[in-house]
Structure 1
């Protein structure tokens, strides 16, 4: 009888432990971050930056074009020339970068895009370290941190990859206040800024546009950045005024 009670107690303790997710704290801070107006907009800007930088670059590779004009006189140039000579592998790299750039822009596929970009950036980081790209390695490291932030941001979905029998948390209004989302005016500003950034990075990768377009794109993009901050301050103030004290 006594042994039976001990067995029941052991089973109850096991059930209690199993009902508590091992990532409770991580999940809490992830969902808390998603309710912050500034972190929401900063994360959206990070997604834009990754997409703007890698879609034009990936398109160059997908078309089988050279990535740089360094030539084969330097180890870096020789490395890119060798990758270019592989043909289908070079195009595969470009296709993956384009896919990641598209996935990271869509809310439904952001979790997949964040994982894909983390792998891409880790690969680029070790390439820059191994070939001696100098300060480019620091930039690659910062972008790796940005990708890890996106994984943290989407932890409500990604947690199912690491823990068994944990349901996917739906990123709906029950976890995120509606005031955190973009207003209609912000969506227009962000859209114009994204378009300008995409064209600008495209021009750095060989896109031919009329002379002076770079200055125009930079000017419009910088104006959109200022407007985004202004709208962000307004939304944040409105959010604080309506939050319970």
Structure 2
């Protein structure tokens, strides 16, 4: 990144840090991300299987059951999630919390999309984006470990004595559009979703031209316990 580009970015960044609405949005991201990981982490620490109602025939159910059987590794993941959440809540440790949170949520996002898991198919990409926002928000701290040849020497920013209250319509419009597109992808992005149960899976195909092929796909997942890719391959061959 050139010095000129970096300087323009940092000028933009300083304006963002001085705006009350961006600051409030960073707090919202911190608290919602922390809440999600405290719940998920405590389930693991207490030794309960995450999404315990999900059948082991389901691809994600099989994964979670195997993960649950790893013992202290399963507990370790829960501890890491809770620690990341606590670090996000404490203002002085937000940057460290965002750094710890990021690889965990990226893994959850990729896992959710690869197995088309309804439980986090919608939330995980939004959590990744919220985490990225926090990392950018804390750029003044992160810049010292980034591979830039040079950067401005304004140091770590203090909380402004007076915030700019101008509402960033373009930014929040982008947030709403992003959430909407994510919802649309979750609902209509794929021809076949395993869903969390056989009945829910079959509902997506009811009264459609691919009802027969869809029902076979659902039975392939929930009754036969076959891998998702294998069931999807059979569905593609059978659908009209």
Structures share fold, TM-score greater than 0.5: yes
- 1:46 and 1:146 in contact (8 A); partners too: yes
Residue 180 of structure 1, CA deviation: 6.8
1:187 match? none
For residue 64 of structure 2, give the secondary structure of its aligned residue in structure 1. Answer: helix
Within 5 Å, give how 1:23-62 maps onto structure 2.
23-62=6-45
How does the TM-score come out when normalised to structure 1?
0.59
Check if 1:147 corresponds to 2:165.
no
**Unaligned residue ranges in structure 2 (runs of 5+):** 166-240
2:206 match? none
For residues 76-133 of structure 1, give each alpha carbon's deviation from its aligned partner in whole angstroms, at most 9, with x where no partner exists. Answer: 1111010000011111110110011011112211111111222111111100011121
For residue 86 of structure 1, give the secondary structure of its aligned residue in structure 2. Answer: coil
- 1:40 and 1:180 in contact (8 A); partners too: no
1:111 match? 95
How does the TM-score come out when normalised to structure 2?
0.60
- 2:108 and 2:124 in contact (8 A); partners too: yes
For residues 182-239 of structure 1, give each alpha carbon's deviation from its aligned partner in whole angstroms, at most 9, with x where no partner exists. Answer: xxxxxxxxxxxxxxxxxxxxxxxxxxxxxxxxxxxxxxxxxxxxxxxxxxxxxxxxxx
For residue 124 of structure 2, give the secondary structure of its aligned residue in structure 1. Answer: helix
Check if 1:172 corresponds to 2:158.
yes
- 1:160 and 1:168 in contact (8 A); partners too: no
- 2:88 and 2:98 in contact (8 A); partners too: yes
For residues 148-196 of structure 1, give each alpha carbon's deviation from its aligned partner in whole angstroms, at most 9, with x where no partner exists. Answer: 11011000000111136766822214xx234479xxxxxxxxxxxxxxx
Distance 2:140 2:149 in 1: 14
Check if 1:74 corresponds to 2:58.
yes
Distance 2:92 2:50 in 1: 31
- 2:106 pairs with 111, 122, 144, which one? 122
Cα distance 1:90–1:180, how it changes in 2: closer, same or farther (>3 A)? farther
2:75 match? 91
Distance 2:43 2:164 in 1: 36
- 2:19 and 2:163 in contact (8 A); partners too: no
Cα distance 1:113–1:93, how it changes in 2: closer, same or farther (>3 A)? same
For residues 21-40 of structure 1, give each alpha carbon's deviation from its aligned partner in whole angstroms, at most 9, with x where no partner exists. Answer: 86323322222211111111
Cα distance 1:109–1:21, how it changes in 2: closer, same or farther (>3 A)? farther
